[in-house]
Amino acid sequence: MSPTKAQQGSRTSPGVSTRAGAFRRAGTGDESYWIFHPKPLPPAPPLATAELQELADHANQALGRLDGITLLLPNPDQFLYSYIRKEAVLSAQIEGTQSSLSELLAYEHEDVPGIPRIEVAEPLNYVRALYHGLDRIDGGFPLSNRLLCEIHAIVVAGARGGDQTPGEFRTSQNWIGGTRPGNARYVPPPPNEVGQAMGDLELFLHDRPVATPILFKAALAHSQFETVHPFLDGNGRLGRLLVSLLLCGEGNVLSKPLLYLSLYLKQHRDEYYERLQRVRTHGEWEEWVRFFLDGVIEVAASTAHTTGRLLALIERDRQKIQALGRAGVSAGRLHDIATREIVFRIPEAARTLESNEVTVGNAARNLERLGIVRETTGRSRNKRYVYADYLAVIEEGVTT
C-alpha cells in the first residue's frame, strides 16, 4: 500500500477503551502486531445523542436549505454535473491522487494526450459508481453488501486496486500506513472476520437492531466501514460514496447529490484520520460524529453559497448574450450547454443542439468575444472551449 502523509504514524498500540472493539496480538516473533476486532453498531454504551442533537438539528437545517435551493433551480442538473465531479476529484485527492477537475472534464470530452490515465480514472470511476448506486437504489435495490461490491468493482476499474479482487471482500490481511502489518498505523480485522463484520454493518444500515437517525447513521456507518476496511484497496473512496448513498438514496435527505463533503475532509485530512483512529483506540464515537456533523453544516452552507454565485454569474452572462441581438439565440443555446458541462467541443455541441458545426462555431466565437468561454487547444479544428469563470468558482478548494 502507499499511505498518504496523513496516514503515516507510529505503530498502533492497544486502545484504552473497548467501546468500539478490541485490539489483540497477532503474528509471531518480530512480526507481532496489534489487530483490531470491531464490535457491531450501534455503539455500546449508546451514542450520547442528547448532547449531539442540537448540532444534528443544525446539520439537518443546513441540508434542508441546500435542498430547498436546488428545488427552486430551473435546472438542478446543470449544477449536479459539476458538483458530482468536484466531489469525485476531492475524494481522490484525499488519498494522494494528483487529479484535477480540469483534467477530468477535458478527459470526458476528449481523451487528452499528456493526462495520466490513472490520475483521471479514480474520479471518473467515482462519478460512474455514484450514478450506478443511486440508480440501483432508485430502482428499489437495497443498500446492501451486494450493492457495495458492485460499486467497488466500478470504483477500482483501471485504477488503484483494479487488480486486487475488485468487487470482492478481501481474503488476505491489509493495513493502513507503513510497509507491513508490523509497522502499520492501523491493522483492520483479519479476513475471516470481514464477512461477519460487514453483515453486521448491513443490518445496521437497515435499522437493525434499532432505528438510527440518518445523519448519525451516515457518520457511524462511514467510520465502521473504514474500520473494517473490507476490500484490499478503494476503501476510502467507497466509504465516502456510502455517505452520499445514505443521504441521497436511502435517507432522502437530499433530492440531488450536491453535497461535496470531501472538501471538508480534505481540508481537515489529518484530523479526519485521527478522529477515525480515536474511535478505535478510545471509543470516541461522539467526537467523531461531532466532527462529521460540523463538516455537513460547513459544506452545505458553502455549496448553497456557491450555487448562488453561479446563478448570478449565469444571469450576468445571459444579459451579455441578449445584447447580441439575433446572434444571441444560438449563443444562448450554446451557453446553456456550457453551464451544464463547463467544457464543450463544437462537434458534440452541434449534435446536442441538432445544429450544424458552422452555426455552433460562430456561437462559440461570439461567447469567446464576450469573455464568457475560452478556447483551450489552440487548434484550428476540433476546438475545445471552457466556461472559464464558472470553472474557477467550482474549482475553489480543489486546486489548493
* Residue range 120-137, pLDDT digits in tens: 889 999 999 999 999 999
Residue 6 has pLDDT above 80, yes or no: no
CA 319, CA 304: separation in Å to the nearest integer? Answer: 23
* Residue range 279-318, pLDDT digits in tens: 999 999 999 999 999 999 999 999 999 999 999 999 999 9
Residue 167 — φ and ψ, nearest 5°? 80, 10
Question: One-letter amino acid identity for 132?
Answer: H
Q: Give percent of the chain above pLDDT 70.
A: 94
173 closest CA partner among 228, 222, 221: 228
* Residue range 142-174, pLDDT digits in tens: 999 999 999 999 999 988 777 789 999 999 999
CB neighbours of residue 63 within 10 Å: 24
Beta strands in 236-390 (DSSP E): 343-345, 374-375, 384-386
345 closest CA partner among 375, 373, 377, 384: 384
Residue 360 has pLDDT above 80, yes or no: yes
Domain borders along the chain are 5-301, 323-394
Q: What is the pLDDT of residue 7?
A: 42
CA 230, CA 400: separation in Å to the nearest integer? Answer: 31
Q: What is the pLDDT of residue 139?
A: 94
Query: What confidence tier does 3 reach under pLDDT thresholds 50, 70, 90?
Result: very low
CATH class of 5-301: mainly alpha
* Residue range 217-241, pLDDT digits in tens: 999 999 999 999 999 999 999 999 9
Looking at 93-97, 191-195, 334-338, which range is the least confident one?
93-97
Mean pLDDT of 13-35: 88
The pTM assigned to this predicted structure is 0.91
Count of all residues that appear for the chain in the document: 400
Per CATH, 5-301 and 323-394 having the same topology is answered: no
CA 147, CA 153: separation in Å to the nearest integer? Answer: 10
How crowded is the C-beta side of 164, counted as CA atoms within 13 Å?
A: 19
Q: What residues contact 51, with CB distance under 8 A and at least 6 apart?
A: 286
301 closest CA partner among 68, 52, 49: 68
CA 235, CA 225: separation in Å to the nearest integer? Answer: 8
CATH topology for 323-394 is: Arc Repressor Mutant, subunit A (1.10.10)
Contact 103, 120 (CB under 8 A): yes
Q: What is the pLDDT of residue 213?
A: 95
Q: Give percent of the chain above pLDDT 90.
A: 74
Average pLDDT, the chain: 90
Contact 372, 314 (CB under 8 A): no
Nine-digit cell string for 124: 471518473
Nine-digit cell string for 89: 476529484
Residue 29 has pLDDT above 80, yes or no: no
In terms of DSSP bridges, do strands 384-386 and 374-375 run parallel, antiparallel, or are they unpaired?
antiparallel
Nine-digit cell string for 209: 437492531
| Rounded-to-5 percentages of helix, strand, coil across the chain | 60, 5, 35
281 closest CA partner among 178, 173, 187: 187
CA 34, CA 27: separation in Å to the nearest integer? Answer: 9
Contact 237, 97 (CB under 8 A): no
Q: What is the pLDDT of residue 141?
A: 95
Q: What residues contact 107, with CB distance under 8 A and at least 6 apart?
A: 115, 120, 124
